[in-house]
């Protein structure tokens, strides 16, 4: 696969607009709550402010605590660079590349858990335990969902499979694509610590998962983590949009414009979901993630891969 200027567009769009979708979610929640809310561009200001602040480290933490934010940001950038954006290819594509993406996301999760344990904080250790437990359900669902999409005729790499999708793909594989898109959206909420799995705005340590693991982070480290969270949210939204895009045609400008519209629509939908329902009880979260895993497996079975 040749590198072209278009190959860099997915990562450039992710870098520019990933904080924006967080702002859209916040404004949607504020609208449903009858409040004015933060400006849509507030996350850009927050990131800039955090980058200008100093960093405080616990005396019990080691180099792992300093390494985790950098790795999380680097992995999020790599994942966004790998994923095509509508008609624009990613930077890298090879047979079975989706397995590498899953392992990269797993690496970022692993180091985040280690960093939380490295602080010797019981609250952060509790959040790390929950994160590791829910990963048992989430990561297989992501991997199987990728396998189902890559099984669509057109290629075995993520780029070749997604780029081969057309309006006719839904005639033969509409059920598979619909199931995987639904599973990816559930995983987008789970993997990015959104309601109903987690509440990114809460300050109650006993109910937090991801947020409690980063309580000791500050300054640029916290900016890297927040930026990585926005990039990861962008990654899953673009993945859902890439999966359902064949419904709308294949013109270059049309697909690119519709990709942006669909990412915004998914952001609004996420904000609406968070406004309409409360966070699930901890014992109910595995059932939600199990439903995403079941959808991915059914899609894979329907493709006749198993």
Q: Is the pLDDT of residue 306 over 60?
A: no
When the pLDDT of each residue in the chain is averaged and rounded to a whole number, the result is 84
Question: Does residue 250 register a pLDDT over 60?
Answer: no
Q: Is the pLDDT of residue 13 over 60?
A: yes
Main-chain phi, psi angles of 106, to 5 degrees: -65, -35
State whether residue 82 is helix, strand or coil: helix
DSSP one-letter code for 277:
S
Specify the pTM.
0.90
pLDDT, tens digit, for every residue of 220-238? 999 999 999 999 999 999 9
Share of the chain above pLDDT 90, in %: 31
pLDDT in tens, 263-272: 999 999 999 9
Q: Which residue has the tokens 């890439």?
A: 242
Cα gap 137→288, rounded to integer Å: 9
Task: Compute the residue count for the chain.
Answer: 306
Give the model's confidence band at 199: pLDDT under 50 very low, under 70 low, under 90 confident, else very high. Answer: confident
pLDDT, position 183: 92
More confident residue, 78 or 97: 78
Exposure string of 54-72, with b = 16+ CB inside 10 Å and e = fewer, is eeeeeeeeeeebeebbebb
pLDDT for the residue numbered 222:
92
Query: How much is the pLDDT for 33?
Result: 86
Phi-psi region of 238 (alpha: psi -120 to 50; beta: other; left: phi over 0): alpha
C-alpha 81/C-alpha 11 separation (Å) is 5
Higher pLDDT, 243 or 74: 74
Residues 6+ positions from 305 with CB-CB distance below 8 Å:
147, 148, 151
User: H or E element: which one contains 131?
Assistant: helix 122-150
Residue 294 burial (10 A CB sphere; 0-12, 13-18, 19+): middle
């Amino acid at each position: 696969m040749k590198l072209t200027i278009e190959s860099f567009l997915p990562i450039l769009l992710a870098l520019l607009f990933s904080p924006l979708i967080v702002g859209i979610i916040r404004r949607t929640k504020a609208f449903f709550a009858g409040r004015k809310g933060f400006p849509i561009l507030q996350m850009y200001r927050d990131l800039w402010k955090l980058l200008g602040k100093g960093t405080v480290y616990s005396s019990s933490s080691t180099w792992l605590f300093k390494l985790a934010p950098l790795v999380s940001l680097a992995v999020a950038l790599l994942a966004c660079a790998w994923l095509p954006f509508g008609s624009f290819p990613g930077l890298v594509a090879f047979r079975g590349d989706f397995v590498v993406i899953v392992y990269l996301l797993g690496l970022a999760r692993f180091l985040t858990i280690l960093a939380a344990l490295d602080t010797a904080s019981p609250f952060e250790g509790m959040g790390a335990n929950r994160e590791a437990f829910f990963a048992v359900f989430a990561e297989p669902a992501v991997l199987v969902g990728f396998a189902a999409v890559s099984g669509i005729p057109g290629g075995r790499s993520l780029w070749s499979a997604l780029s081969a999708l057309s309006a006719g793909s839904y005639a033969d594989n509409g059920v598979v694509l619909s199931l995987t898109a639904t599973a990816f959206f559930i995983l987008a909420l789970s993997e990015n610590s959104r309601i109903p799995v987690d509440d990114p705005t809460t300050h109650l340590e006993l109910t937090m998962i991801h947020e409690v693991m980063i309580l000791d982070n500050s300054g640029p480290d916290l900016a890297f983590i927040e930026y990585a969270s926005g990039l990861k949210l962008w990654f899953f939204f673009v993945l859902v949009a890439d999966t359902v895009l064949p419904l709308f045609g294949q013109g270059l400008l049309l697909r690119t414009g519709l990709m942006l519209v669909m990412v915004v629509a998914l952001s609004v939908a996420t904000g609406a979901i968070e406004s309409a329902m409360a966070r699930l009880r901890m014992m109910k979260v595995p059932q939600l993630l199990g439903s995403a895993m079941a959808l991915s497996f059914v899609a894979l079975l329907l493709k006749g891969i198993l």
